[in-house]
């Protein structure tokens, strides 16, 4: 005979009693958050604690895998993420048909050029530490499309991803029939994310823009907190050719009366953001003025930080990620969460330091200076533009003492490959040029021609197949005893890094 379910037992606590007890307990800490935290904790009691963040492999069940591939194929038949018609008309129409799911929860909206995904993961971890149920929407994915939509820190299950797609599909087809252009790949995924978050339900959504801000598909939310990570030149054909022009597009995420968390920016970009904030009566917190990094030390497996937030100083924070850029992302994330809780503007208090430490210590960011192999050490980093490459080069030089570093680089055809290679040239002894398997990849020979101009012919090797490139780089790192401390950095594109991760057995 099976054991009775907890709800069948006479001594099982009544859910309403549990809710009231948690409200009473939470009220002693913070009356403003008591009810929302109690609701989340009651829900967690039924659903269990969230799993740790992972990069999911293909579904083990053949039927589920087949169904997921069918969904992926249907999505792939739409406009890709680099082909856009700058408008939110289609996504707004879809949201209307779905009953405006994006308005069922508050949200934190993240734009910028570099650091968005890592910052989103940190914000998510902090919110989870305060017992809030989160939805996170980020792009692109490293290995699996399901990574883009996360609930409570874990990628959505394949079965739920498929179910969400099937739920929204009839409405997507209705919008397709009504509009001059069909919904794009990214627009459909955005609709799926907002629907999944409402269905969960989540207490707060952490949303990363796909590109820009004003006309980005994600920009149908009215976020109380807008986060702007560092702006630099990228997608110049779409967003503008100067930081100021790009900032003008990204400023579209700043809504009336919101709080803007502004990372360190080029002067012209900061001016654009501040002007937009004044126009919509938004409050601005600037890195280096209202918040920032007080101290930073290299530590085993990461770094030890003291951060100054909107509500005070937070000491002895271990962040298991490498690079000064990740410390800056941490400062931005912390201030965003403080702003979400009303700290700084409405309340003069700090968040619980133990919860902050626990949250940051749990942060993972796959494909961002991620070590995936030893002997020799192989590091992956998804840098895909010059600013990202510069940050990665500085981070790996600071955190690792390689006697010799071999680069494996495969970029997308629409990126500033020369700028990226020039940023890495000082740290690469040799470079193996390659390409990933997608149509967007820059041809290996074309990239090699640029690499020869930057590195010289004797430092460049060409291996069009990524598996061959990895093998060649590892061989170069191992070839002489004097280079026993050599390492390999795989970079140039999120896609290249994702495929390398699979080849190296991390899928």
Predicted local distance difference test score (pLDDT) of residue 5:
34
How far is the C-alpha of 263 from the C-alpha of 286, rounded, in Å?
Answer: 6
Kindly state the average pLDDT of the residues 77-104: 90
Predicted local distance difference test score (pLDDT) of residue 374:
86
Both tokens assigned to 65:
């895998």
- What are 464-502's pLDDT values in tens digits? 999 999 999 999 998 865 556 899 999 999 999 999 999
- What are 110-165's pLDDT values in tens digits? 999 889 999 999 999 999 999 999 999 998 888 899 999 999 999 999 999 999 99
Residues facing 204 on adjacent strands = 134
Q: Which residue has the higher pLDDT, 238 or 438?
A: 438
Both tokens assigned to 470:
């990895």
Predicted local distance difference test score (pLDDT) of residue 369:
93
Does the pLDDT at position 21 exceed 80?
Answer: no
Does the pLDDT at position 34 exceed 50?
Answer: no
Residues facing 138 on adjacent strands = none
Both tokens assigned to 71:
């969904």
Kindly state the average pLDDT of the residues 432-460: 95
Identify the top-confidence range among 78-82, 235-239, 298-302, 478-482.
Answer: 298-302
pTM (two decimals): 0.84
Does the pLDDT at position 325 exceed 80?
Answer: yes
Does the pLDDT at position 47 exceed 60?
Answer: no
Kindly state the average pLDDT of the residues 27-51: 37
Predicted local distance difference test score (pLDDT) of residue 345:
60
Q: Which residue has the higher pLDDT, 301 or 25?
A: 301
How far is the C-alpha of 412 from the C-alpha of 235, rounded, in Å?
Answer: 12
Does the pLDDT at position 507 exceed 80?
Answer: no
Predicted local distance difference test score (pLDDT) of residue 348:
66
For a pLDDT cut of 90, what percent of the chain falls above it? 71
Report the alpha-carbon angle 192-193-194, nearest 5. Answer: 95
Do residues 370 and 487 make contact, with C-beta atoms less than 8 angstroms apart?
Answer: no
Does the pLDDT at position 24 exceed 60?
Answer: no
Predicted local distance difference test score (pLDDT) of residue 168:
98
How far is the C-alpha of 477 from the C-alpha of 484, rounded, in Å?
Answer: 8
Predicted local distance difference test score (pLDDT) of residue 273:
93
Predicted local distance difference test score (pLDDT) of residue 226:
97
Average pLDDT over the chain reads: 87
The residue ranges of DSSP E strands in 221-282, in sequence order, are 225-228, 259-262
How far is the C-alpha of 280 from the C-alpha of 179, rounded, in Å?
Answer: 31
Count the Cβ atoms, other than its own, within 10 Å of residue 156. Answer: 24
pLDDT bucket at 297, cuts 50 / 70 / 90: very high
- What are 198-236's pLDDT values in tens digits? 999 999 999 999 987 899 999 999 999 999 999 986 555
Kindly state the average pLDDT of the residues 182-194: 96
Tokens 């002007």 belong to 275
Does the pLDDT at position 54 exceed 80?
Answer: no
Instruction: Indicate the range of 52-56, 93-97, 179-183, 291-295 predicted with least confidence.
Output: 52-56
Does the pLDDT at position 12 exceed 80?
Answer: no
């Amino acid at each position: 005979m099976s054991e009775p379910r907890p709800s069948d037992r006479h001594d099982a606590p009544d859910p309403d009693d549990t809710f009231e007890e948690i409200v009473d307990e939470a009220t002693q800490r913070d009356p403003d958050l008591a009810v929302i935290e109690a609701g989340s904790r009651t829900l967690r009691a039924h659903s269990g604690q969230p799993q740790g963040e992972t990069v999911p492999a293909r579904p083990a069940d053949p039927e589920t895998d087949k169904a997921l591939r069918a969904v992926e194929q249907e999505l792939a038949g739409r406009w890709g993420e680099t082909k856009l018609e700058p408008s939110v008309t289609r996504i707004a129409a879809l949201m209307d048909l779905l009953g405006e799911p994006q308005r069922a929860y508050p949200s934190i909206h993240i734009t910028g050029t570099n650091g968005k995904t890592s910052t989103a993961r940190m914000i998510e971890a902090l919110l989870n530490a305060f017992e809030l149920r989160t939805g996170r929407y980020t792009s692109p994915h490293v290995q699996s499309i399901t990574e883009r939509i996360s609930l409570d820190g874990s990628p959505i299950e394949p079965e739920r991803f498929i179910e969400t797609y099937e739920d929204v599909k009839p409405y997507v087809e209705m919008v397709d029939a009504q509009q001059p252009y069909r919904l794009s790949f990214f627009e459909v995924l955005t609709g799926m994310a907002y629907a999944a978050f409402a269905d969960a339900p989540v207490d707060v959504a952490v949303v990363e823009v796909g590109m820009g801000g004003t006309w980005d598909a994600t920009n149908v939310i009215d976020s109380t907190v807008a986060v702007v990570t560092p702006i630099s030149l990228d997608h110049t054909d779409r967003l503008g050719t100067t930081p100021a022009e790009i900032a003008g597009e990204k400023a579209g995420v700043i809504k009336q009366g919101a709080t803007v968390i502004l990372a360190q920016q080029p002067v012209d970009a900061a001016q654009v953001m501040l002007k937009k904030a004044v126009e919509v009566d938004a409050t601005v917190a600037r890195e280096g003025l209202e918040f920032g990094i007080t101290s930073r030390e290299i530590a085993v497996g990461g770094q030890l930080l003291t951060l100054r937030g909107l509500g005070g100083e937070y000491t002895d924070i271990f962040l298991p990620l490498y690079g000064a850029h990740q410390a800056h992302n941490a400062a931005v994330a912390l201030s965003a969460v403080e702003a979400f809780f009303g700290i700084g503007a409405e309340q003069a208090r700090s968040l619980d330091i133990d919860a902050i430490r626990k949250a940051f210590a749990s942060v993972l960011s796959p494909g961002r200076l991620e070590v995936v192999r030893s002997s020799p050490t192989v590091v992956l980093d998804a840098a895909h533009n010059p600013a990202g490459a510069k940050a990665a080069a500085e981070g790996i030089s600071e955190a690792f003492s390689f006697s010799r570093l071999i680069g494996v680089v495969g970029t997308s055809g629409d990126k500033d490959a020369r700028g990226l290679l020039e940023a890495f040239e000082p740290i690469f002894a040799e470079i193996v040029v390659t390409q990933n398997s997608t149509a967007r990849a820059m041809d290996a020979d074309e990239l090699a021609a640029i690499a020869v101009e930057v590195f010289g012919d004797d430092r460049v090797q060409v291996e069009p197949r990524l598996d061959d490139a990895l093998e060649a780089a590892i061989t170069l790192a191992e070839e002489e005893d004097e280079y026993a401390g050599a390492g390999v950095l795989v970079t140039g594109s999120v896609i290249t890094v994702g495929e390398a991760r699979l080849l190296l057995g991390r899928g």
